[in-house]
Amino acid sequence: MKNNRRWTFPHHAALWMSVSLAGIAVLSGCATKAPELKPASAGWVKNQVADAYTFGFPLVATDIARERASGGQSGQAPLNTFRHASALPPAGASGSPSVDTLDSTAWLDVSADPVVVSLPAAPRGRYLDARAFDAWTNALYSSADTTPYPKMQLIAFVPAGWTGTLPPNATRVETRTRYVWLSVRVRVNGPRDVREARKLQTAMRIDTLTPAKGSVSDPTPAVAGAWPPSGAKQPAVPPLSGALAAATPGAQAEALDANAFFARLARSLDDNPAATDDAHAMSQLADLGVKPGEPVQFRKTDAPLLASGLTDAHERLATTPPNAITKNGWTWFGDGVGVYGTDYTLRAYLARRQVATSTKEGEVKPVARVDDEGHALNGANQYTLHFAPDQLPPVRGFWTITAYTKDGALTDASKLPRLSISDRDRFRKNRDGSIDVIVSAKPPGRARDANWLPAPEGEFQIAMRLYAPKPQASDGSWAPPPVERQ
């Protein structure tokens, strides 16, 4: 299908735009000046900067993620095109990557046309999860919320308010943002199973919706806040430094200074407007001189105040939000994840660590960094996770446990039998039916190798993933067992 349609507007909308542009032309002759952050209210302004930063952080992180993933360079894919992982992540991969799924991702652009995604049916017993997020990391769609082993899916992503006709049987998903991040995960059972999973990848398609024979698609959709043409001039944004090229998008966003951060935010807001409930946050941004599509010009004398506000915001992003579930040394999230509303702190906290986090119905991810006595996990020790017969992770899909370095990187698997354990492993059970998972850098001995989760040397963390979890996993009535040092 072609991808050359552009927004067209009813006559009254075009008239409104011409009047607005005329007003802008008149105002452009006036001198523009960034608002002054008055020292008399420095404490208040510092809090305002921290609030504005926390609010906008997810959008800046996704802007960086999209910039890194889409394009014509090696390892990138154009917009509206799948980027398929053809192998499991290598040793040293950062961001706590999954070693039990083969991922296919795409950045969708709905500015010219609705985008239609076609996914094959999952063969019997093969977990497949399609997730989509808007540019603010809010969850738009997740097949695992209801069906972790879905039949063929036809998903149409359309701008909010679009009134055209979609293909029969297509699931309509509205987005107020121009860009949508799509992730499709297919379960694999080790490197030898990758080939079978790749067969599903080859059957995935992304197309744009254009008038075709028999189509009655409306060529003039009613869309509020339509996006400018792709060739429209945008405010200049400082590029990322080479030192940050390998960092996660969240880490890259956090490394930006105030000028670079808010410049990216202003540019991205032009394409990805905030929600109606975000009016107060947008007003705070405007008070700082940060407006959609406009250059950001802070006064040099305000640099210390801006830096202080960012420092406070960084502390927020490093602090576990109070609505986290913490039990037995594990921390994870349930209510509010993926559907944040005005919980900007939770949204920013998760965006810092992972660009898009699924809803509690799609996945929960308990993470442990300390043992049952509060000491940091270390590969020099041996630990046990004791699962009672009825206390294995409750899921509708499947579960896995993986050990990473303290920074979330994979260890070298070349000399290890596995990097994770899961519900498919044949554990050696105790007489009462319970299971003891052994976590250590060194093998525990042949008698217990079946239950061994290899860990990195030095300090490390453990991540437990529950794909399509049951409610007791996301409301805290079930919890992983404590990590007991032996």
Does this chain's domain 34-68+238-318 share its CATH topology with 325-485? Answer: no
Per-residue pLDDT, averaged over 427-452, amounts to 92
Percent of the chain with pLDDT over 70: 83
Asked whether the CA dihedral 27, 33, 34, 37 is positive or negative, the reply is: negative
Q: With cut-offs at 50, 70 and 90, classify the pLDDT of residue 215.
A: very low
Q: What is the pLDDT of residue 353?
A: 87
Could you tell me which residues come within 8 angstroms of residue 244 by beta carbon, excluding any fewer than 6 positions away?
A: 251, 252, 255
Residue 368 pLDDT greater than 60, yes or no: yes
Q: 164 or 12: whose pLDDT is higher?
A: 164
Q: What is the pLDDT of residue 243?
A: 52
Q: What is the pLDDT of residue 241?
A: 53
Q: With cut-offs at 50, 70 and 90, classify the pLDDT of residue 247.
A: confident
- Summarised one tens digit per residue, pLDDT across range 272-304 is 999 999 999 999 999 999 999 999 989 888 899
- Summarised one tens digit per residue, pLDDT across range 398-411 is 999 999 999 998 98
Residue 418 pLDDT greater than 50, yes or no: yes
Q: What is the pLDDT of residue 25?
A: 37
- Summarised one tens digit per residue, pLDDT across range 46-78 is 999 999 999 999 999 999 999 989 876 777 889
Which residues does residue 3 pair with via DSSP β-bridges, in sequence order?
none
Look at domain 72-208 and name its CATH class: mainly beta
- Summarised one tens digit per residue, pLDDT across range 299-346 is 888 899 999 999 999 999 999 999 899 999 999 999 999 999 999 999
Task: Return the CATH number of the domain spanning residue range 34-68+238-318.
Answer: 1.10.3360
8 A C-beta contact, residue 335 and residue 323: yes
Q: Which helix (H) or strand (E) holds 117?
A: strand 115-119
Burial 118-147 (b: 16+ CB within 10 A, else e): ebbebeeebbbbbbbbbbbbbbbbbbbbeb
Return the structure tokens found at 118. Answer: 């076609």
Domain layout of the chain by residue ranges: 34-68+238-318, 72-208, 325-485
The domain defined by 325-485 folds into Jelly Rolls (2.60.120)
Q: With cut-offs at 50, 70 and 90, classify the pLDDT of residue 227.
A: very low
Single out the residue of 37, 52, 28 nearest to residue 265, CA to CA.
Answer: 52
Residue 224 pLDDT greater than 60, yes or no: no
Return the structure tokens found at 84. Answer: 């398929």
Least confident range of 39-53, 155-169, 279-293, 446-460? 39-53
Q: What is the pLDDT of residue 124?
A: 83
Q: How many CB atoms lie within 10 A of CB 370?
A: 14
Q: 84 or 91: whose pLDDT is higher?
A: 84
Burial 301-331 (b: 16+ CB within 10 A, else e): ebeebbebbbeebbebbeeebeeebeeebbe
Q: What is the pLDDT of residue 73?
A: 75
Q: What is the pLDDT of residue 91?
A: 82
* Residue written as token pair 């998008």: 249
Percent of the chain with pLDDT over 90: 66
Per-residue pLDDT, averaged over 194-201, amounts to 92
8 A C-beta contact, residue 339 and residue 350: no
Mean pLDDT, the chain, rounded, equals: 84
Q: What is the pLDDT of residue 221?
A: 31
**374 phi/psi in degrees, rounded to 5:** 85, 10
Q: From CA 396, how far away is CA 145, in angstroms rounded?
A: 10
Single out the residue of 149, 195, 208, 157 nearest to residue 178, CA to CA.
Answer: 157
8 A C-beta contact, residue 128 and residue 362: no
- Summarised one tens digit per residue, pLDDT across range 6-48 is 333 233 333 333 333 333 333 333 444 555 555 445 567 899 9
- Summarised one tens digit per residue, pLDDT across range 95-152 is 888 999 999 999 999 998 999 999 999 888 899 999 999 999 999 999 999 899 989 9
Strand residues in 360-409 grouped as ranges (E): 363-364, 367-368, 383-387, 395-405
Full-model pTM: 0.84
Q: From CA 89, how far away is CA 253, in angstroms rounded?
A: 23
